[in-house]
Structure 1
């Protein structure tokens, strides 16, 4: 069971990092009503709400959290990895932008099958600012 959970977390991490392009963000809108049925759609739905602050290109943060069947957060996300800069104010703004994206994206409108598959599984997406986005 743990290996399946690890695969789900790894797939989500890859999907979020791979989805960190304009094309990925254009596929879904923040708080869009369309059902989320795959890990790729889930990462795109969260990423669509993320607006990394200017000056954070190259920064990265991995959060660990789980979601309920209804798309709401279980507990509080925990940072498990970070690659931040030397400016503490910019680092705080970067982390805050990720937490704000989660807050805005959740609850996700999971399909019944996705809700059942994802419920309670530990996820570990990595948020990486790969370029400067216009705010």
Structure 2
């Protein structure tokens, strides 16, 4: 697995049935992305906004340190921007811990991942 991997929130993942973080063992990064996006609820009045978080997992499905915003596109003032980043960070943490299969746990531990949280476009 590459040192830096990218999870992408694609339309198909958003249309999939909700995937409870603790419901089943996750075997692929696509399943991880779907599980994490199931917890995302964009803030009100945040159309056309996005934030990308960078983070690393431990083998037990928790994070190594806090997630870091690496790209932020939010209309409005600093308060609106911070609220959006906080909502994404909360969504990520609310989905944890994830339940990785032994093979996936071995492959993801310590690697840096990014996930983009988007609001619906108008």
- What TM-score results when the alignment is normalised by the length of structure 1? 0.79
| Distance in structure 2 (CA, Å) of the matches to 1:41 and 1:73 | 17
C-alpha RMSD over aligned residues: 2.0
SS in 1 for 2:56: strand
Q: Unpaired segments of 5 or more residues in structure 2?
A: none
1:48 is matched with: 38
The number of aligned residues is 122
| Distance in structure 1 (CA, Å) of the matches to 2:87 and 2:105 | 25
1:111 is matched with: 101
| Distance in structure 1 (CA, Å) of the matches to 2:41 and 2:121 | 11
- What TM-score results when the alignment is normalised by the length of structure 2? 0.87
Q: Unpaired segments of 5 or more residues in structure 1?
A: none
Note closer, same or farther for the CA distance 1:130–1:59 as it changes in structure 2 (3 Å cut). Answer: same
Which is helix-richer, 1 or 2?
1
* Residue 57, structure 1, aligned to residue 57, structure 2: no
1:5 is matched with: 3
Q: Aligned-pair distance for 1:27?
A: 4.1
| Distance in structure 2 (CA, Å) of the matches to 1:38 and 1:61 | 23
| Distance in structure 2 (CA, Å) of the matches to 1:80 and 1:112 | 29
